[in-house]
Amino acid sequence: MILEFLAAHPPFHSITPGELADLAGSATTHTFAAGEVIVDYSSHVPDEVWMVRAGQVNLLPTNDNGVGDIPVDTVNVGGIFGFFPLLAAGSVQFVARAVEATILIRLSGDLMRPVFAKPAGLAYLAARAWDTLSDRTTGLDRSASRGPVGDLVRGDPVFTARDTTVRDAVCVMTDRRTSYILIPLEHGEYGIFTDRDLRTRVVAAGVSVDAPIHTVMSAPAYCVTADRLAATVLMDMLERGKRHIPVLSQNGAVMGVLEDVDLIAASTRQSFVLRRSIGLAADVDELQSVATGITELAVDLFRGGTDASATSGIVSVVIDSVVRRALELALTDSAVPRDAFAWMTLGSVARREAMPSSDVDSAVSWSDDAVDRGPDFRRLAGRVHTILDGCGLPADTNGAIASRPDFARSARDWTIATSGWLDDPLANRGIVMSSLLVDGRVVWGRQALHTVPAVYRSMARDHPNALRLQLLNALSDKVRLRSMRDVLSRRAGTFDLKAHALTPIVNLARWSGLTVGIGSASTVARLRAGAGNGLLSARDADILAEVFAHLQQLRMSHQIDQIEAGHRPGDIVSLAELSPLGRSLLGDGVREIAAVQRRVSHLAATLAG
């Protein structure tokens, strides 16, 4: 029987008996002769998925010259196909052809879509769909996964007021040919209403189309900033079960809304599966065992052709997953209320620029009504970092971790401390603390408890002297141009890629972002956001962004080489081991950084005079 056959194969083995019965009850059986075309997806928008009951099916790519001869995949008994075109609304094109006399089961598209929304269905997609079709066929641009999502936004966002009726909102969606509409809310947040909400929250629930849209919207909408990598955003969408995601500029304005099909080409299989394993880790030992896969992930991504920027972004997302799971496990033995605090990641992981050598910086902020629980939160943080140490993610060696009082405060105390750093940046390590906390990104808890960014948004207007000191601090990170020229001429010596090249760019970028009110963001996004601020020109921002990318590529390559050689990854490179081109690029990069620092310093001195 069809029901038993479905139940014996993924992803159907984990759905409920009722769902399985409905799926089997609507299924039909079809027979095809050897060589017969089953479906040509170049001319067919599917509303079904096919399962091989007997025989074999080849999936053949199509292009302007017709049907290709080399299969991109072969589906055997128990396998399914057509799910990728179904989920991508027909935008994926290939031909399915029977290899031999074949019996297929036709499954309803409406019933299959919910199957792929479940964890087992997502895992199935991660293990097969991205691998089979997005990487090897269909003309989808795999490089899209390596770029920021802001580059993928097409068309202006569509808005309506919260009191608009469902009927009128759907009319707007129809006129604008979108499958969503956004509803502005208070405090800069948005609600979202999609075609799926129309089906499930209105039609299926029997709600009147004259109801206000705010009663059936999803709120607040999960949003991402434009600098996020497409590959990592797709993983977030899969993890959260989202099909639409608003993309925000660094200033919080909506640039547009992406759908999952816009990101479907992202190569996320290995990283998605690893994240799922992390989320399902039953205890600390299992989490620490699974987390050893992070290093292997970085090696495989980079050696597989993923550039350093995308590799760092994906590794950062996976580290976030480990931190969240470590928190969940630590909370099982803690009396700390789960909803009373926010956990912030700081440093390179917060900027999504993690390297295999990166350690974990952290801070914690708790609600003001839990002000007397400070020691409990710090003990929790200590437990979390102990777990992370066993995961191969060591705590920051300089002590920027949430188990220390400087990095564990109530939301109100963070606001007071931040204001103090801005009023007197030279007291209480104000500049250093500002640099650390302004990078902070919430990975657990309510965003509103991270009160530091709000204080810094008006830094340029309200605290110009503190901003000037941030610039002076950034310019004090001198690259070793003279000694670099000496060692290059002798082709000897060593060079610290992070301390003497990358850190000066990161600090200049942080200052650049603060000049336009931007807190946590990637280095490149900060440079480009602040370009033209009167001191950093657009050309110099582009130069620094390009040098940063080259240095990160060299740094990642060096650390991957170290890992494969069985050594601990680090940032010290032996110049004698670099290729002539590598030495040349490194020397040019250092000179470019120094030149930008001189230009910015000269302009700053001129304006001050």
DSSP 557-608: HHHHHHHHTT----SEEEGGGS-HHHHHHHHHHHHHHHHHHHHHHHHHHHHH
Cross-strand bridge partners of residue 62: 67
- 224 and 310 together in one domain: no
For strand 361-366 and strand 341-346, is the pairing parallel, antiparallel, or unpaired? antiparallel
More confident residue, 35 or 300: 35
Residues 235 and 249 in one domain: yes
Q: Which amino acid is present at 351?
A: R
CA angle, residues 303, 309, 310, in degrees to nearest 5 = 65
- CA 573: distance to chain centroid? 29
pLDDT class of 16 with cuts at 50, 70, 90: confident
Is residue 534 in some structural domain? yes
Question: What's the gap between Cα 350 and its chain centre?
Answer: 11
> Given this model, what pLDDT does residue 333 score?
84
Residue 444 lies in a domain: yes
Local confidence band at 122 (pLDDT 50, 70, 90 cut-offs): low
246 and 276 both lie in a single domain: no
User: Looking at 102, 119, 138, which one is the last position of a domain?
Assistant: 138
Q: How confident is the model at residue 91 (pLDDT cuts 50, 70, 90)?
A: low
pLDDT at residue 287 in the model: 94
The sign of the dihedral angle between the CA atoms of 330, 332, 337, 342 is positive
Residue 464 falls inside a structural domain: no
Rounded to the nearest 10°, the torsion over CA 263, 267, 273, 278 is -80
**Given 3-state DSSP classes, what are the helix, strand and coil percentages for the chain, each rounded to the nearest 5?**
55, 15, 30
DSSP for 99-153, written as a single string: SSSEEEEEEEHHHHHHHHHSHHHHHHIIIIIIIIIITTSTT--GGGGGSBGGGG-
User: In which residue are the tokens 């070793």 written?
Assistant: 480
pLDDT tens, 319-369? Answer: 999 999 999 999 998 888 888 999 999 999 999 999 999 999 999 999 998
Q: Do 428 and 283 belong together in one domain? A: yes
Both 130 and 151 in one domain: the answer is no
Q: Which stretch of DSSP H or E encloses residue 440? A: none
Q: 39 and 95 in contact (C-beta within 8 Å)? A: yes
Residue ranges in 155-229 assigned as alpha helix (H): 166-176, 195-197
**pLDDT at res. 142:** 40
Cβ neighbours of 304 (radius 10 Å): 11
Residue that has been written with the tokens 């599917």 in this structure:
46
| Dist CA 113 CA 90 (whole Å) | 14
CATH of the domain at 82: 2.60.120.10
Angle made by CA atoms 513, 515, 518, in degrees to the nearest 5: 40
Q: Which residue has the higher pLDDT, 410 or 200?
A: 410
Residue 523 lies in a domain: yes
* Span 537-554, average pLDDT: 94
Same-domain status, 373 and 304: yes
Based on the fold, state whether residues 253 and 289 are members of the same structural domain.
Answer: no
Q: What is the CATH number of the domain that holds 545?
A: 1.20.120
Round to whole Å and give the CA distance between 72 and 97. 12
Mean pLDDT of 576-580: 80
pLDDT > 60? residue 481: no
**Mean pLDDT across the stretch 147-163?**
87
Cβ atoms of 138 and 61 closer than 8 Å: yes
Clarify whether residues 411 and 489 are in a common domain.
Answer: no
Q: Which of 100-104, 232-236, 467-471 has the lowest mean pLDDT?
A: 232-236
Higher pLDDT, 209 or 514: 514
pTM exceeding the 0.85 threshold for the entire prediction: no
State how far the Cα of 55 lies from the Cα of 100, in Å rounded to an integer: 6
Dihedral (CA of 242, 244, 248, 254) sign: negative
- How many domains is the chain built from? 4
Judged against a pLDDT cut of 90, whether residue 505 lies above it is answered with yes
Residue 259 sits in a domain whose CATH number is 3.10.580.10
Rounded Cα distance, 434 and 424, in Å: 11
Question: Does any domain span residue 84?
Answer: yes
| Distance of alpha carbon 531 from alpha carbon 546, whole angstroms | 14
Please indicate, yes or no, if residue 463 is contained in any of the structural domains: no
Cα–Cα distance measured from residue 326 to residue 288, given in angstroms and rounded to the nearest whole number: 9
Average pLDDT of the residues in 167-185: 87
Q: Are 122 and 219 members of one domain?
A: no
254 vs 230, higher pLDDT: 254
Asked if 427 and 492 sit in the same domain, the reply is no
Of the CA atoms within 13 Å of residue 432, those in its CB half-sphere come to 9
Identify whether 462 is part of a domain.
Answer: no
Asked if residue 163 and residue 132 are part of one domain, the reply reads no
Q: How far is CA 476 from CA 48, 571, 590, 604, in A?
A: 62, 20, 15, 13
Q: pLDDT tier at 485 (50, 70, 90 boundaries)?
A: very low
Q: Does 584 score more than 60 pLDDT?
A: yes
d(CA 515, CA 503): 19
The Cβ-side half-sphere exposure at 113, using a 13 Å CA radius, reads 14
490 & 394 share domain: no
pLDDT in tens, 418-438: 999 999 888 878 888 989 999
Domain end marker among 246, 263, 280 = 263
Given a cut of 80, is residue 273 above it in pLDDT? Answer: no
Give the residue numbers spanning the domain of 238.
Answer: 143-263
Q: Residue 465 falls within a domain, yes or no?
A: no
> Which of 14-28, 85-99, 325-339, 541-555 is least confident?
85-99
Contact assessment for residue 577 and residue 501, using Cβ atoms and an 8 Å cutoff: no
What CATH number does the domain containing 321 carry? 3.30.460.10
Amino acid at 112: M
User: Can you tell me the distance from the alpha carbon of 154 to that of 156, in angstroms, rounded to the nearest whole number?
Assistant: 7
Q: Which of 456, 482, 513 is the last residue of a domain?
A: 456
Q: Residue type for 18, please? A: G
